Structure 1
Amino acid sequence: MSPRAFRLAVWWLLALLLAAGFATLGRWQLARMHEKQAMLAAAAQAQDHAHPQPLLLASDPGRALDYDWAVGSGRIANLTLWLDNQQRGGRVGVRMYCVLLPDDGVQALLVDAGWWPLAGDRTLPVFGCPAGAGQAVRGLLASPPSEGLAHGAALAQQGDGRWLASRMDLPEIARALSLPTGIAPRVLRLDPQREHADAGAMLAPGERDLDILPNTLTPERHLGYAVQWFGLALTVLVVALVLTFRTKKKKI
């Protein structure tokens, strides 16, 4: 093999490896797009207000990744859990969770009571979950926010029954809050249509929604990234073809 042919072979080997790598990343982005589209469709289908499910379903490990519209009641524990680093509309804040001990279940259930903005000094809101029995709630049972990268303790006590969590490590939260039966694998996202009706004053003035993809990429963004990766793969092949054509032309 001549030196020129050897160089061409090396160029094409590198080009094919790069193109294959970019195409793999593009396929991964497409898979994530389809996965999130399926999640959004399942969540939308689950919001059937005419056929609510019992809160007991939150404890079913077989449905940990599913969505159900649920209604029930129970006792709110005398503590408040704030989940840190939660963005909403480009603003930084925290999400408030209350611990509900359902009347029809044995496991505690985390109730997403809304998002709150944080000031520059990062002082937590003074508002907290109202303790008491007979609290009626309704909303969407869904997976808790992703834990992300584990770094340091997941939970820190702030005093007066208030806790600040850096991630949703349910087993660690259950141990810290002394919940012997653990916490249900799904949380209850309270119905935004009833901002001041459920659980007394628990919801005001936090902002509620049923967004199941907070702080993450939308399917449209994944599609955009997939197009970029496939475009890079095509560009590499085009460059390789141009170099090959120029090399052969010089040889002639």
Structure 2
Amino acid sequence: MAVLRVGSLLFRLHPGALLVTLLAIAIMVKLGLWQIDRGLEKQAIMDRHADAPHIYQPNAQTIAHLEADTRISVRATLDTERYFLIDNQILHGRAGYHVVALATAPEFDGEYLPVNLGWVAAGIDRSTFPEITLPEGELALDGRIRIPSSRPFLLQEQTFTPPESWPVRIQFPELDKLREGMRIPLMPVILLLAEDNPLGFPREWPVVVMTPQRHYAYAVQWFGLAIAAFVVFFVASRLRAKDDDAKSYEE
């Protein structure tokens, strides 16, 4: 057992306790640095979101090659009979669906742009779909481009065939499979209708789930715990040393 003297203070350091304390401090410092890195990543995402270009009335070829988060504005018409319901969507603690409509315009060359119009509540009876009325006529649609994952995590693989009736409930918008299986000429991206657009249903599209400030706050907590572990160890060591000195004096 090593003895460390700092001025008039005597510390008796147990090797095992010292090793565990140093290991714990290293882990907490590493977690703090990781939170800082995550905060910087989230800030970069938010900066890209704020600086994303805005394109007006693009054609189908242009839309198909847009990067995620690009803002677009189009005048288009929705197919009021055919739309998708994305299952298991939560808004403010309630379960429901995202309504994905099919938009068409002369610039789209016969292809459809999937448009996520927002969230609707699910009923108690899963066999009954919510009653939805889509707006008719030419509409002003604006929002941001989202590129769905090509390999989403699903509990069960989806298969698509031309449906006998609409709407169609899906787990995830696998657009390539929808295009091939349901024989609908879909563009490979989805438009998330802007939150301030008066059309559609309630919707919230957070840029990031956790803000950079929250990550930085967690980093401070981890660093604080590391400092606390360091202080507690040496205070405990000093107290043990004082006890040992008292026993030696009594003897």
Residue 168 of structure 2 aligns with which residue? 163
> C-alpha displacement at 1:145, in angstroms?
6.8
> C-alpha displacement at 1:38, in angstroms?
3.2
Secondary structure (helix, strand or coil) at the match of 1:237 reads helix
2:122 to 104, 118, 124: 118
* Aligned partners of 1:74 and 1:102 also within 8 Å: yes
Listed one character per residue, the Cα deviations across residues 87-141 of structure 1 (whole Å, up to 9, x for unaligned) are: 22333322111233554357643211121122344543122657x9x74442222
- Of stretches 91-100 and 225-234 in structure 1, the one that deviates more from structure 2 is 225-234
* Aligned partners of 1:29 and 1:226 also within 8 Å: yes
CA distance in structure 2 between the aligned counterparts of 1:139 and 1:177, rounded to whole angstroms: 26
Identity %: 26
Secondary structure (helix, strand or coil) at the match of 2:48 reads helix
TM-score by length of 2: 0.69
1:243 to 231, 236, 241: 236
CA distance in structure 2 between the aligned counterparts of 1:219 and 1:102, rounded to whole angstroms: 39
Alignment map for 1:129-208 (pairs within 5 Å): 135-143=138-146, 149-154=153-158, 160-179=165-184, 183-184=187-188, 186-196=189-199, 203=200, 206-208=201-203
Unaligned runs of 5+ in 2: 5-11, 246-251
Residue 200 of structure 1 aligns with which residue? none
* Aligned partners of 1:80 and 1:128 also within 8 Å: no
Distance verdict in 2 for CA 1:7–1:105, change over 3 Å: farther
**In structure 1, what residue type is equivalent to 2:227?**
L
CA distance in structure 2 between the aligned counterparts of 1:222 and 1:109, rounded to whole angstroms: 36
- Of stretches 4-13 and 134-143 in structure 1, the one that deviates more from structure 2 is 4-13
Alignment map for 1:15-30 (pairs within 5 Å): 15-30=21-36
Residue 222 of structure 1 aligns with which residue? 215
Q: How much is the aligned-residue C-alpha RMSD, in angstroms? A: 3.9
TM-score by length of 1: 0.69
Residue 224 of structure 2 aligns with which residue? 231
**In structure 1, what residue type is equivalent to 2:231?**
V
**In structure 2, what residue type is equivalent to 1:40?**
M
